[in-house]
Structure 1
Amino acid sequence: MFISDDNPQISRDPETGLSRGCGFVTMRSLPEARTAMNALDGFDLDGREMLVKLSSDVVSKRRNINMTHTPPVKDHIFESPHKIYVGNIAWSVEPQELREYFSQCGTVVSTRLLTDRKGGRGRVYGFLSFASAEELEAALKLDNTHFHGRNILVRQAHEERQAR
């Protein structure tokens, strides 16, 4: 889906030739790599959960036990150019619920609900991005559908609108 043909490498045991269960893929750009990470990290592949990281985040031949207990440095949101605006969202909706609802349209690359600066409550709108233009078109068809007690507004997001 996102993985390019640019030199995929499967790590194999040199004696047996069996896969070690990991590999590397060279992507065409950092945004493309981040999109793939966000879409595929945690994906179930034949009963095994995929762990997808940037190679710069992986330290080879060293294991740091303390690293498993450290929180992420920053919560990154990776977006694709295939983005929608969703309005009239109920206050109680969590980002994961919005992601699950729109996953019927395809791969949701990112989900972002904006927060009220004063109260910390979720506002009534958010942005989602998809892996392809076709998935974005499918999402636009969910305009005026009933979600958590409200008829949501779905529009294509435009970069110039968000820059204001």
Structure 2
Amino acid sequence: MATISTLFSSPNLLRRPISTPKLTLKATPFQKLTSRGSYQRLYAVAEEVAADPDSKAARRVYIGNIPRTVDNAELTKIVEEHGAVEKAEVMYDKYSGRSRRFAFVTTKTVEDANTIVDKLNGTEIEGREIKVNITEKPLLQPDLSLVQAEESQFVDSPHKVYVGNLAKGVTTETLQKLFSEKAKVLSAKVSRVPGTSKSSGFGFVSFSSEEDVDAAISSFNNTLFEGQKIRVNKA
């Protein structure tokens, strides 16, 4: 019988699922994880990279804290100064359409990925210091299922606000509690850096009516919350 290590050495790993009598793993970087399979998936990514250094996971670079004005074309131009790019994708919030200030870049080779990390991590784009690393590192975190559960519990509504410049310690619960003081809140969420529970510095609050949206903006825009002046506007 083939072992897990043998299966991960196959060059077709990224094109087909791998089956064992107990679970099925498909090597996609950010698939949804069940509580049963999360640890198997995390260790599978690590073993994939170790067994096949040229795998897509080893060539996929995370770039965080980029300005909202940077799009795919501009990011590609910046990164290609240091390595060949297969694909560059800036991530956008599905509710507001705003850039989430991070992106993923798939390079042609592992050497390109490593060079990009060495040359760009800690540098600045439009005055913002960016964070650059290979994506299997943030994947190796045990709290992904909790973050995904929080995302799935958010109740979307046409009546919602974007809340920016949140302090890093703000949670979904404290955000919802704040806005509940002035309006009837349906749901709230704090956006997270992919693969971690770290706040991205912004969130969303949904309401049942446009009157509640107006009340939230007039009550909280440019007010201090946990030491920072927050921005509140219609999403």
Give TM-score scaled by structure 1 length: 0.48
Greater RCO (CA < 8 Å, at least 6 residues apart)? 1
Give TM-score scaled by structure 2 length: 0.34
Could you say which structure has the larger radius of gyration? 2
Higher share in helix: 2
